[in-house]
Amino acid sequence: MKGNEAIAISAIRNGVDGYFGYPITPQSEVMETLMKEKPWETTGMVVLQAESETSAVNMIYGGACCGKKVMTSSSSPGVSLMCEGISYMAGTELPCVIVDVMRGGPGLGTIQPSQSDYDMIVKGGGHGDFHNIVIAPASAQDMYDYVDWGFELAFRYRNPVIILADGIIGQMMEKVEMHPSKPRRTAEEIRRDAPWATTGKTPDRPRNIMTSLSLDSDIQEVFNRKLARKYAEIEANEVKYTEYLTDDAEYLFVAFGCSSRICEAAVDELRQNGVQVGLLRPVTLYPYPFTRIGELASGMKSIMSIELNLGQMVNDVRLAVEGKCPVGFYGRQGGNIFTPEEVVDAFLKFNNLK
Amino acid sequence: MDTADIKKPENIVYRKPALITDNVMHYCPGCSHGVVHKLIAEVIDEMGIQESTIGICPVGCSVFAYNYIDIDWEEAAHGRAPALATATKRLCPDKHVFTYQGDGDLASIGTAEIIHACSRGENIVVIFINNGIYGMTGGQMAPTTLIGMKTSTTPYGRDPKLNGFPMVIADMISHLDGTAFITRQSVHTAAAVRKAKSAIRKAFEYSEKNIGLSFVEIVSTCNSGWKMNPVDANKWMVENMFRKYPIGDIKDILK
Amino acid sequence: MAFKGAIEIDAQHCKGCGVCVANCPTGSISLSRMVNGKGYNYAEMVGDACIGCSACALVCPDSVITVYRVKI
């Protein structure tokens, strides 16, 4: 199935309570698939087409307040609109999953694949001092698996989780293995697992108020520091990456999402020509595998960040490398995709091997 | 019989509603918000629906409504309360869900959200406080500010050529098929308060019938923003606001 | 049937807005010359004409009025 369809099917099979979205290329198949599957007749999952991305994200804000597993999906311009709600949810400490199937920008840009929202999502995603947990799928199988993993992280940390995909992963058709399905949680389970949620005030507890507002600087600061502790815990426990042929590597590619798959082919091609290259694919973009990239940097002749943008993640690679070896960048923009050969050429040029 | 004989618990005919908390309201003296909060608290208590009611606060003066009524609350971003309410009600259909929004929140930044919630026929209650001004940010022009009305951003009075015309939201949404009950009330006299309370109760009852959105507009005062004392503000409201925003039911699909 | 009433005002939480005064049909409330802890001239019951109609309490935004009523 397509990556976008995998998201929809996974949501139904993993006990998601609600999806609220607005059509935008290249991810409209998510809502289309959900509407076709009619999960409200089977699992009771709510699916609703909102009037805008602004409204969609605020619908999941409302759903998350009730302790429900709620999600939305969109593409770059739509996610810009959602940044307001993402910030409010971070400030209210609410779990949710948001899928950004990136396209070329800025502005309306193109509808072709890109990775140009790295900075917006990993560094920002709305106003104020906060982090989204960001996970980057590289296959349709990942799209399927990350929905459930995303909700696990979202509820464990009461924090928005963003699945940062791109048009290639969304549109690409691949075989997907579907794990046993999970039921939706019952009202009792929600009251037990999310005692903070607006489930209706009962005599046994004070009223629950879901808000990100505090007019008192000291109270706000205490809250900000609480968030900082949570982020430190996330950074300590949740960093995830994969490595390909790094054991004997003298050079390293760092690439996420679809770029990592193209880089894998580039690694194979270079190795056939006797160049010992490896690949590190960050699976979590926040928290970022700074430590591992730093360790690898000590033994490398150079590291290149390969991205479908003007060079966004490369700044994190530089932070991780801390000057231990030269750091290069190669990318294409506007919805154009590099071939493995182009990556090989860029590599040879950067390392003066040509 | 002297006063001391009358002041016995068995003779109480009116007291602070049970669901109004002991927090001192931050509203200015004479502000309509306090009265409307009280009516909502009474209706929820009388219907016995405290455990099933979820309120959605706006941004504006009533952003802190959650401090005053003893129910579960969600605090929305500016204008987005109907979106939160939509999801809350659809995901928890057994709950009573209402939004409480001012004119800046509902009629300006949140027009898309309210119009579409009405159009979809969400089974929620919307309480709309229309005092023709932005209270919390210091008395700026609202979409509902009357022509000629002075605010801090219309210091010479609202001029339609410069600022456009006032929006009559309740009438606008009455044309949408998803709305079930739309009424416009006020709370400046005891009789008005009683009528407003019946309207709020009806709105909550309609929301149980799954027949669409119920909308209660309360034409209100903002005496601080209007730069009047509370009693004069009530008079000014009757003489000016009621002309543009006449009191009464606008739509009731069960009638 | 006639009624006689009385009101009790939580003076410390009254903001002295005067809306109750304007709504009282029997002229039984006025604003005190004294101020409360917040500096407001709080409302107080005056005379013995109160009929316990609750008009004052209904329009009170701060819910500070309790109303008592007996048949006489």
Nearest CB among C15, C57, C67 relative to B29 is that of C15
Domain count, chain C: 1
- Those chains having 3 or more beta-carbon pairs within 8 angstroms of chain A are B
- Does chain B touch chain C (at least 3 C-beta pairs within 8 Å)? yes
CATH of the domain at C16: 3.30.70.20
Instruction: Tell me the per-residue pLDDT of A195-209, one tens digit each, with 9 for 90 and over.
Output: 999 999 999 999 999
What residues does each domain of chain B span? 32-252
Chains C and A touch (3+ CB pairs under 8 A): no
Q: What is the tens place of the pLDDT at every residue in A31-45? A: 999 999 999 999 999
Distance from CA of C16 to the nearest CA of B (A): 7
Say which amino acid occupies B32: S
- Per-residue pLDDT, A215: 86
* Strands B125-130 and B96-102, bridge-based pairing: parallel
Superfamily of domain B32-252: Thiamin diphosphate (ThDP)-binding fold, Pyr/PP domains (3.40.50.970)
CB distance from B188 to chain C under 8 Å? yes
Number of other CB atoms surrounding residue B209 within 10 Å: 13
Q: What is the DSSP string of A288-340?
A: --HHHHHHHHTT-SEEEEEESSSSSTHHHHHHHHTTSS-EEEEE--TT----H
The token duo for B193 is 């308060």
Substitution target from A20, A66, A71 for chain B, most B beta carbons within 10 A: A66
Domains of chain A, CATH where assigned? 3-187 (3.40.50.970), 241-350 (3.40.50.920)
From residue B60, give the alpha-carbon distance in Å to each of B33, B78, B100, B104, B140: 11, 8, 10, 8, 12
B30/C54 Cβ within 8 A:
no
Chain segment B127-162, per-residue pLDDT in tens: 999 999 999 999 999 999 999 999 999 999 999 999
C1: confidence class by pLDDT, cuts 50, 70, 90 = confident
- Which candidate from B1, B28, B188 shows the least CB-CB separation from C70? B1
* Residue from A89, A207, A215, A216 to probe the interface with B (highest B Cβ count within 10 Å): A207
Q: B238 touching C, CB under 8 A?
A: no
Q: Tell me the Ramachandran region of residue A242: left when phi exceeds 0, alpha when psi lies from -120 to 50, beta otherwise.
A: beta
The 3-state secondary structure of B83-130 reads HHHHHHHHHCCCCEEEEEEEHHHHHHHCHHHHHHHHHHCCCCEEEEEE
Query: Which pLDDT score, from 0 to 100, does residue A148 have?
Result: 98
Cβ-Cβ contacts under 8 Å, C69 against chain B: 6, 11, 13
Pair B122, B94: CB distance under 8 Å:
no
Closest CA to A33 of A155, A170, A135, A156: A170
**Interchain proximity A207–B90, CB inside 8 Å:** no
Placement of tokens 């609410």 in the chain = A94
Q: What ipTM does this complex have?
A: 0.96
Query: What mean pLDDT do residues A59-67 have?
Result: 98
pTM, two decimals, is 0.96
Average pLDDT over residues A328-350: 97
Contact: B229, C18; criterion CB under 8 Å: yes
Q: What is the DSSP string of C27-55?
A: --EEEEEEE-TTS-EEEEE-SS------H
Q: Is the pLDDT of residue A180 over 90?
A: no
- Give exposure, B214-238, as e/b (b: 16+ Cβ within 10 Å): bbbbbbbbbbbbbebebbbbbeebb
* Distance (Å) from the alpha carbon of B237 to chain A's nearest alpha carbon: 31
The strand pairing partners of B185, in sequence order, are B218
Measured from the Cβ of residue A271, the count of other Cβ atoms closer than 10 Å reads 15
B87: closest CA among A9, A132, A72, A34?
A: A72
- The whole domain housing C61 covers 3-71
As a whole-number percent, the residues of chain A with pLDDT over 90 amount to 98
At A121-174, the pLDDT tens digits run: 999 889 999 999 999 999 999 999 999 999 999 999 999 999 999 999 999 999
For residue A68, give the chain B residue with the closest CA.
Answer: B91
